A and B are shown apart, each in its own frame.
Chain A
Amino acid sequence: MLKLQVKPRSEGKVVPLSDAAWLEGLLRRAGAPVRPDEAPVPVVGQAGLSAIEGGERTAEAEGMAPELLIPSGLRARAERIVALSRNEGLPVFPVAVAPLFAGWRLHTKGKHYDYVFCNLAEDPLFSDPDGFPIPAHTLQHLHRLNRSSLARCFDLLYVVHEVEKGSIKEGEPLEAERLVPPSPHVRRASERLGSLGTVLWLGTALPLLGGAGLGLATAAGLAMIPLSLGLGLDPLLLGAVVAPQRPIRVGELAVWFYLTHWRYTAEEGERGG
């Protein structure tokens, strides 16, 4: 178990760490951030609580009383998760402290993309008839996470969808098609099947079309249009935990953990995180 609850001062006085300092320390102990250059989780938390936004600005450094919004039970629970993740060798680490919310929230302050924070249960992909698309290698990682002792640690799961700037607006319906680009693999397969079908049909019509049909069929069979690929969009899966004995409801303060992320691009064989 990590010992981050108190920080001894030179005078011998024991002062609890501020929330930001505690979170920063926990993050440091848990491992490297996902992608520090892109700040993958633009935290929607309360002032001074984000490890990313307020990591350097600790209350102690400013000579103020430390902010103590995170209950000690929640701190202990978060530290236990970090310890478990280290034992399991899984890259699970805290990214923010923020209240729980229902539905989805749009974050538009990203430099290149907007971010849709969505409760997994209310994510349109979760109820999509074609299933929730996750690259195969990330699915393997999630299965491993599911087999680990961490699987039941999280009270709520959220997905952060990276979307093109301005493509989604608050108040508008959230559509699955805007969150996930079409699978390039399926598009390629569809093109191959289309070309093969053309050859087949021209072959069927051969008695009628004669030699011209064969020529066209060959040409159609050879015509492979190169696939134009859109920009990659990288969703994140976050797990949120609330303090023990606290209800899981809107507005309840929670520590948010990074679980995994993936990329919807052509490089499907590439490991996301």
Chain B
Amino acid sequence: MAVKVIIPTPLRAYAGKQESVEVQAATVGEALSALTARFDELKKHLFADDGRLRSFVNVYVNDEDIRYLQKDQTSVKAGDTISIVPSIAGGTGN
């Protein structure tokens, strides 16, 4: 199933400068695997060495945090939007 993954600004440099990427997947885990298979450099920004999603990166299916769904097993259907939302700290631009 084709789902859209929205790439946040800080990570676009590692995803071919694209704002969003369409992948074929049935779960969030599959979608992120498909994404990092296409953009190898994204992997270390999304996943820790143990393969788990980094704690400063949240993933949403539509408007729901996957931590409160079935995490990477959360199923996705055609037309769903997956958002990657990392923490950003900027405030003054200094």
Q: Do A and B bind each other?
A: no
